Amino acid sequence: MSPSTMPSGLVSPQTLSEFDRVEPITASDAEIEQALSQADLPALLCALAMLTGDDDLLSEDLRPPTPPMSSTISPQGGMGEAAQSKARALALQKLRAYRDAGCPAADIPTTPALDRIMRFMIKDANESYLPILRHELGIPKDTGAPEWHKSQVAPDTVFRVAVIGAGVSGIAAAHRLQQSGLDFVIFEKNSEVGGVWWENAYPGCRLDTPNFAYSLSFAQKQDWPQQFSRQPEIQKYLSSVADAAQIRPFIHFETEVVSMVYEEAQALWCITLKNAAGQHSTQRFNAIITAVGQLNRPSFPQIAGRESFQGQTVHSAMWPQGLDLQGKRVAVVGTGASAYQIVPAIVDQVAQLAVFQRSPPWMLPTPTYHHDIRPGMTWLLQHVPFYGRWFRFWQFWIASEGRLPLVEVESDWVHPVSVGRANETLRQECMAHLQTQFGDRPDLLGKVVPNYAPGGKRMLRDNGIWAAALKQDHVALVTEPIECIQDTGIRTQDGRLYEADVIIYATGFKSSDYLYPMKVIGREGKDLHQWWQGDCRAYIGITIPGFPNLFMTGGPNTGVVVNGSAIFSAECAVEYAMRAIGHLLQSKQAAMDCKLEPFKQYNDVVDAGNLTKAWGVVKTNSWYKNSTGRASQTWPFNLLEYWNLTAQLKVEDYDYISLR
Ligand code: NAP
């Protein structure tokens, strides 16, 4: 098949190993050359070095210099023209030889050989990154798989695990549980897997982190159609992972967990479930892995009169199927990530659009945001063994320190907006982008410039469509605060009424109310939400003193906001939970309960860390913070530090409960 005749996506994989499937090359030299003109070269050099074992692909003059990330990422890792030409010529030579040899199956190199290829990309970076990178590459083996199997460590012990939620994290948990041979079930309140990607089906919904890196380490899809794929594509991926991992039979759909109560005598969790018919039942488990997501329960703003509106009310995360906005007067409340995608997607349908902004977000210039992966690149991904893995690895690597240095607070930096020198550079780059976008509309420019440091809250990708939407004659960007909502629309404090047929709340989620609205009762009747008092905390975001064998994914302070994706921390948490359960089974203990001291010490370190980042010190609203003003959602350090904390179980951090 040649690059120009290639279909946009392969058939769904039937097994996890099929995610790596490639097709044999039959293309001509000219067609290969054409494809190479659209290749991502650093990843291709690594994939070909792995395929051929040839060192000339990894020579010093080909090594991507990877300039530090600023508002944009350097294409080809900053490789110069000469290096790019040489890389393409070499790649053509290797691919031709591979084709002419009949596309033999690639030998999987040893770990030291792979490390050598990785070092080509990571240069002189901290060697301790290697284990995390091996995990992300998943070759020569899936290092995230549990190192134990129930049949070997505790064949006669009954140990049941409940997973709550079948989104990204729940799928990861179920897969790892299945690999370990444990007895488990998954409870999912929706009728399908996908979690946030199943629920958020609003127009324009798509990823805003690079797609290859936003995927599970054990199911690395090669044929993403875009760098930032649309919601249906991500939902399709998650559904295909659930199928290929064969976890669907373990999922109880339309089954919501209402409460979980720890029963000391048996060291069991009693879970109360509600089915689609509203009937309640209970089941008992030895351990629970919560995978309910952080951005899961929609939040409506407390605005006077909200219930009195007589038109249609919609939340971005509960989009009614088939909602017809054609010719309607629409109000959108909020200008966060969801609104940024909804407004450009609906602007051409509606008769009138009022966008209510409380504080503007910073925009990260991303000209390729909506681009398809180019045909040549897609062709290479579908024909070069493991190229998709190396491309994912490359995306992961360049983001892993990512923009973290750019949001660093410097104590000797004095500026009304930015928090440090690098942050100021980022601010100036983003300001230049705003000037370009809104320079011809000073009225709008005055409204869209944030007055807080970049990184103070979620930065949004922009390819120009936000400005293009706001500039249309039938659109108003309203910055006057909302006074109230009336039966016919939204009234602002200046007395003006914006009449609307539909109000869309793009007002986010109850992100700091972890595990809401489930009731969670631990040892000695300890009510989790009462204990937290709105200030949710956990030890490494996973365990909580007084709640034995309860493991959270996506828990407090695990949100990776500028240097990776939530999938990374979710996989870390799942693998930590598996390590902990393995330890319990091997040591013949019934349960483990996090001690208070490590919990406190850990939280002190994280709190101090967050105060070194823009989001910890700015005064603006954001979902990163809870009602006490503490940044309770964000992980303030690099990925390696979270990996190191979760890659080993410090058994001394727990008290153990034995029933013997
Ligand atoms: P959000 O970022 O929390 O934004 C909520 C918006 O509603 C903000 O503009 C907020 O204003 C506004 N708002 C809240 N209460 C208000 C009130 N009383 N009056 C006026 N405005 C009010 O929520 P989101 O846009 O749904 O995004 C949440 C997160 O989900 C994102 O940051 C991202 O991590 C994730 N997400 C990801 C994608 C993606 O990957 N493509 C897409 C969507 C969402 P203030 O800023 O002043 O608080």
In this prediction, residue 402 carries a pLDDT of 83
pLDDT of residue 82 exceeding 90, the answer is: yes
Specify the pLDDT at position 73: 86
Atom of ligand 1 nearest to the CA of 339: 25
Q: Ligand 1 pocket: which of 362, 458, 567, 619 to mutate (most atoms <8 Å of CB)? A: 458
d(CA 656, CA 659): 10
Ligand 1, atom 37, lies closest to the CA of 337
Q: Measuring from atom 20 of ligand 1, which residue has the nearest CA?
A: 358
| Mean pLDDT, residues 204-210 taken together | 94
Read off the pLDDT of residues 495-528 as tens digits, 9 standing for 90 and up.
999 999 999 999 999 999 999 999 999 999 999 9
Rounded distance from Cα 500 to ligand 1 centre (Å): 21
pTM: 0.96
The pLDDT of residue 11 is: 57
Query: Can you say how many angstroms the Cα of residue 24 is from the centroid of all Cα atoms in its chain?
Result: 33
Rounded mean pLDDT, 211-233: 95
Pairing of strands 312-315, 591-594: unpaired
- Check whether 274 has a pLDDT greater than 70: yes
Residues pairing with 591 in the sheet? 657
Nearest atom (ligand 1) to Cα of 622: 48
Ligand 1 pocket, mutate which of 234, 295, 485, 492 (most atoms under 8 A from CB): 295
Task: Give the nearest ligand 1 atom to 621 CA.
Answer: 48
Atom of ligand 1 nearest to the CA of 505: 7
State percent of the chain over pLDDT 90. 91
458 CA → ligand 1 middle, Å: 9
By most ligand atoms within 8 Å of CB, the mutation choice from 342, 507, 512, 567 for ligand 1 is 507
User: What spacing in Å lies between the alpha carbon of 636 and ligand 1's midpoint?
Assistant: 20
Which residue's CA is the closest to the ligand 1 atom numbered 46?
A: 359
pLDDT at 8: 41
Cα 166 to ligand 1 centre (Å): 23
pLDDT at 68: 84
| Start-end of CATH 3.50.50.60 domains in the chain | 150-297+511-636+648-657, 306-362+414-505
Specify the ligand 1 atom closest to the Cα of 206: 41
Please give the number of the atom of ligand 1 that sits closest to the Cα of 361: 46
Mean pLDDT over residues 605-620, rounded?
A: 97
Name the residue at shortest CA distance from atom 12 of ligand 1: 334
- pLDDT greater than 50 at residue 256: yes
Is residue 24 over pLDDT 70? yes
Nearest to 348 by CA among 489, 477, 490, 203: 203
Average pLDDT of span 259-282 = 98
What's the 333 CA to ligand 1 centre distance in angstroms? 9
Question: How many angstroms does the Cα of residue 285 sit away from the middle of ligand 1?
Answer: 36
Best probe residue, ligand 1, of 623, 624, 633 (max atoms within 8 Å of C-beta): 623
- Ligand 1: which residue has its CA nearest to atom 48? 621
- Give me the amino acid identity at 471: K
pLDDT category, 438, cuts 50, 70, 90? very high
In this prediction, residue 600 carries a pLDDT of 98
The CB density around residue 147, as the number of other CB atoms within 10 Å, is 11
Are the CB atoms for 222 and 381 separated by under 8 Å? yes
Residue 5: pLDDT over 80: no
User: By the 8 A CB rule, do 375 and 537 touch?
Assistant: no
**What is the distance in A from the centroid of ligand 1 to the CA of 334?**
6
Residues with CB under 6 A from ligand 1: 206-208, 295, 301, 303, 316, 333-339, 341, 356, 358-359, 458, 482, 506-508, 621, 623
Which atom of ligand 1 lies closest to the CA of 620?
47
Strand segments, DSSP code E, in 493-572 are 497-499, 502-505, 519-521, 550-552
* 150-297+511-636+648-657 has CATH 3.30.2420.10 classification: no
**What is the 219 CA–ligand 1 centroid distance (Å)?**
30
The closest residue, in CA terms, to atom 23 on ligand 1 is 508
Average pLDDT over all residues of the chain: 95
- Calculate how far, in angstroms, residue 468's C-alpha sits from the geometric centre of ligand 1: 20
Say how many Å lie between the CA of residue 336 and the centre of ligand 1: 4
Q: Is the pLDDT of residue 532 over 50?
A: yes
Using CA atoms, how far apart are residues 326 and 323, in angstroms rounded to an integer? 9
pLDDT for 9 beyond 50: no
Three state DSSP letters for 58-114:
HCHHHCCCCCCCCCCCCHHHHCCHHHHHHHHHHHHHHHHHHHHCCCCCCCCCCHHHH
Average pLDDT over residues 35-53: 97
If you ran DSSP here, which 8-state letter would residue 371 be given? P
| CA 498 / ligand 1 centre spacing (Å) | 21
Q: In this structure, what are the phi and psi dihedrals at residue 293, rounded to the nearest 5 degrees?
A: 80, 165
Distance of alpha carbon 459 from alpha carbon 429, whole angstroms = 13
Average pLDDT value for residue range 90-119 = 94
pLDDT per position as a tens digit, 275-309: 999 999 999 999 999 999 988 899 999 999 999 99
Measured from the Cα of 559, ligand 1's closest atom is: 34
Name the closest-CA residue to atom 4, ligand 1. 336
Q: What is the pLDDT of residue 6?
A: 35
Q: Which of 338, 457, 509 to mutate to test the pocket of ligand 1 (most atoms within 8 A of CB)?
A: 338
How much is the average pLDDT of 452-476? 97
Taken as a whole, the chain contains a residue count of: 660
Question: Where does residue 70 rank: exposed (0-12), middle (13-18), buried (19+ CB within 10 A)?
Answer: middle
pLDDT for res 69: 84
Q: How confident is the model over 369-421, as pLDDT tens digits?
A: 999 999 999 999 999 999 999 999 999 999 888 889 999 999 999 999 999 99
Nearest CA to ligand 1 atom 14: 507
CA of 513 to the centre of ligand 1 (A): 15
Residue 4: the pLDDT is 38
Fold of 306-362+414-505: FAD/NAD(P)-binding domain (3.50.50)
Compute, in angstroms, the gap from residue 624 CA to the centroid of ligand 1: 11
Q: Assess whether the previous peptide bond of 140 is cis (omega < 30° from 0).
A: yes
Residue 583 neighbours by CB under 8 Å, 6+ apart: 589, 592, 649, 651
